[in-house]
Amino acid sequence: MDDALTLYDVMLDSRLLLGTARYPSPAILAQAIRAAKTQIVTVSLRREAGGSRGGESFWTLIRESGARVLPNTAGCRTVKEAVTTAQMAREVFGTDWIKLEVIGDEDTLQPDVFGLVEAARILVGDGFCVFPYMTEDLVVAEKLLDAGCRVLMPWAAPIGSGRGINNIFGLRSLRAHFPQTPLVVDAGLGAPSHAAAVMELGYDAVLLNTAVSRAGDPVAMARAFALGVNAGRAAFLAKPMTPRDFARPSTPVIGRAFDEGAA
């Protein structure tokens, strides 16, 4: 695949990951997955029970979409809770992939980075491929990589806020410090332009849920985000011009048809 994304040795041609929570209906979720052309969807164990009638219906929808499942530990507040949820998710969903969340603050849903590193170390030791939801902190990133994580998922802004990039300096620094590590922006994006902006910074992918599921037209918004991600990636590869403090004419001034000094 040209310009393929590789996450834990799995090659993908889509750089948009999609959450599956809070859609108006299962039918709209299925249409949004198709419109986004995503190959990875996140699923919360707390929301979907594998053995229930609702869970079986949901599983049928996901299987028919062809997308790979990335279970998450959404809502977990402690290391023990996150690790136990991950282990249960592996049994229910049949995958070693886990999006690891350990929430530390109720208002911002900011990760508890101390618990996050501890839980990541335990899960990696247990054979999991961990996708840690983190802040844009360089030290935390280093510790997560030392723990065995091979993908990092920094936030752009608090979950569900739709604010876009809160700390562009932090995201740029993270990209610059870890050029070989796949970085997926997770949380806070609210518009396709936000997705394009983080992709232009050189990020490898984005993960969305609320911005699509709570849009007036989730299917159209999923399609718009896919376009935004692709445009941002194409712009990054094309190497955008460097911003300047002063104007520079785009049309050469030499050889103008009218030159006042020529008279």
Q: Is 80 a catalytic site residue? A: no
SS3 261: helix
* Torsion sign, CA atoms 159, 162, 166, 172: positive
Query: What pLDDT shows up at residue 259?
Result: 59
With a cut of 60, say whether residue 97 has pLDDT above it: yes
| pLDDT(48) > 70 | no
Determine which one of 37, 99, 143, 239 is catalytic.
Answer: 99
Residues 135-154: tens digit of each pLDDT: 999 999 999 999 999 999 99
CA neighbor of 205 nearest in space, from 153, 160, 156: 153
The per-residue pLDDT for 49 is: 52
Share above pLDDT 90 across residues of the chain, in percent, rounded to a whole number: 76
Q: If you average pLDDT over residues 52-67, what whole number do you get?
A: 77
How many residues are present in the chain?
Answer: 263
Sequence-ordered alpha helix ranges (H) in the chain: 26-36, 53-65, 79-93, 113-125, 138-146, 168-177, 192-200, 210-213, 218-238
Give residue 109's pLDDT: 87
Q: Name the 3-class secondary structure at 111.
A: strand
Tokens of 121: 């170390």
Query: Could you count the other beta carbons within 10 Å of the beta carbon of residue 198?
Result: 28
